[in-house]
Amino acid sequence: MNNTISPGTINPSLKCNGCGALLYFAPGSRSLKCDHCGERNAIETDQTDRAIQSVDYDRFIDHLSENKKSDDMKVVNCSNCGSQTTLSAFTTSDKCSFCAAPLVLSPEDGQQYLPPHYILPFEINKQQGIDYFQKWLKGLWWAPKDLAKEVNSSSSGLQGIYLPHWTYDTDTTTGYNGRRGEYYYTTENYTVTVEGKTENRTREVQHTQWWAVSGKVNCSFNDLIVPASKSLPPKTLNKLAPWNFKMLVKFDERYMSGFRSETYQVDPQQGLLMAIEQTKDQIRYAINQDIGGDRQEIGDIETDYLNKAIKYIMLPVWASAYSYNNKVYQFTVNASTGEVIGQRPISWIRILFFILKILAVIVAGMLLL
């Protein structure tokens, strides 16, 4: 990353048809809303072209190296108040630091950033995000009793962010060798001593006979998701899944108005390796099925990844942190499903009391016998 600052241009399509003020995307809708006069401008979409399609991976990578994106910071002029805000590297939209008006870079207007293919618009607005968070907080096991009450006021700092993700499709062919184990049984004689006398007995003993095997399996994968942002830990992002992909729409930067958004920081080649990692368990499972028998051992395997395809998509989250007892806990709300993933305090005293209560019940039960 270099830290040069280049001028950015704000997207001109954010002006209200009614009064000319700047518009914000309204979560749960397909339109922009004017906070000033209440007018709604619909984001018109091409209804004839609704199918979600991936693009050929190799062609995408070739195209990418021709159009190297710049990851400079950008200074943009707010068209509402005229002041300047610096968008950090990897950020393509944010709010004006002075008047909170939306700042959305325009990919057409000489900006060297790669526009995503699809975007999952915010379904859940800020208030609903806070409600989901509060509900999550109240439902936590072993949380301190006053947690929900103490945290009540601090969740208003929720920030809406679109995070970049890659999705991959691929067909795989895997050649393997290994061994198939089949059980067989033999009868063994053995002796035991009962009351000083020796007795002869027999028992069935299981053995495994191994056969060398080799073969080929085919598996197809769709929509393997890899987070391309480094703003949140991958563990958090993976737990926010599943995403409601039925609601994906063709990318339009107007959906980002009023939200922060980022470009990718994990490049698509790195992402592919992470997606391939996700295929391995299923391929091994398919090989074990193919080997059959009672036990399986997999030797060498070699997988060809064919028909690779990719989508570059934006997914919406509300992210924030709360503090309790002078400690800060981060949490994230999936803004398409309401799923909450967060860090949390644990009340060891409540756990201790719970254990004591169970012990008391057991002791009481024993006394009654």
Return the DSSP state at 277: H
Q: Between 99 and 328, whose beta carbon lies closer to Zn ion?
A: 99
Distance (Å) of CA 224 to CA 117, 166, 268, 303, 307: 16, 8, 13, 17, 14
What's the min distance (Å) between Cβ of 325 and Zn ion? 37
Q: Between 99 and 355, whose beta carbon lies closer to Zn ion?
A: 99
Alpha-carbon distance 25 to 122, whole Å? 9
The DSSP element (H or E) to which 60 belongs, if any, is helix 57-66
Based on the shown chain and the rule CB under 5 A, indicate whether residue 362 belongs to the binding site for Zn ion: no
Alpha-carbon distance 208 to 212, whole Å? 13
Q: Are 174 and 216 in contact (CB under 8 A)?
A: yes
Based on the shown chain and the rule CB under 5 A, indicate whether residue 75 belongs to the binding site for Zn ion: no
The dihedrals phi and psi of 111, each to the nearest 5 degrees, come to -75, 130
The DSSP element (H or E) to which 176 belongs, if any, is strand 159-194
Based on the shown chain and the rule CB under 5 A, indicate whether residue 80 belongs to the binding site for Zn ion: yes
Interface residue with Zn ion among 5, 99, 359, 361 (CB under 5 A) is: 99
Interface residue with Zn ion among 10, 22, 32, 34 (CB under 5 A) is: 34
**Range in contact with Zn ion (rule: CB under 5 A) among 71-79, 166-174, 176-184, 206-214:** 71-79
Q: Are 9 and 109 in contact (CB under 8 A)?
A: yes
The two three-digit tokens of residue 141, written as one number: 């096991």
Interface residue with Zn ion among 13, 21, 115, 171 (CB under 5 A) is: 21
Q: Between 21 and 298, whose beta carbon lies closer to Zn ion?
A: 21
What's the min distance (Å) between Cβ of 302 and Zn ion? 57
Based on the shown chain and the rule CB under 5 A, indicate whether residue 35 belongs to the binding site for Zn ion: no
Based on the shown chain and the rule CB under 5 A, indicate whether residue 16 belongs to the binding site for Zn ion: yes
Alpha-carbon distance 273 to 132, whole Å? 34
**Range in contact with Zn ion (rule: CB under 5 A) among 38-46, 209-217, 253-261, 339-347:** 38-46
Number of residues that bind Zn ion (CB under 5 A): 15
Which residues lie near Zn ion (CB under 5 A)? 16, 18-19, 21, 34, 36-37, 39, 78, 80-81, 96, 98-99, 101
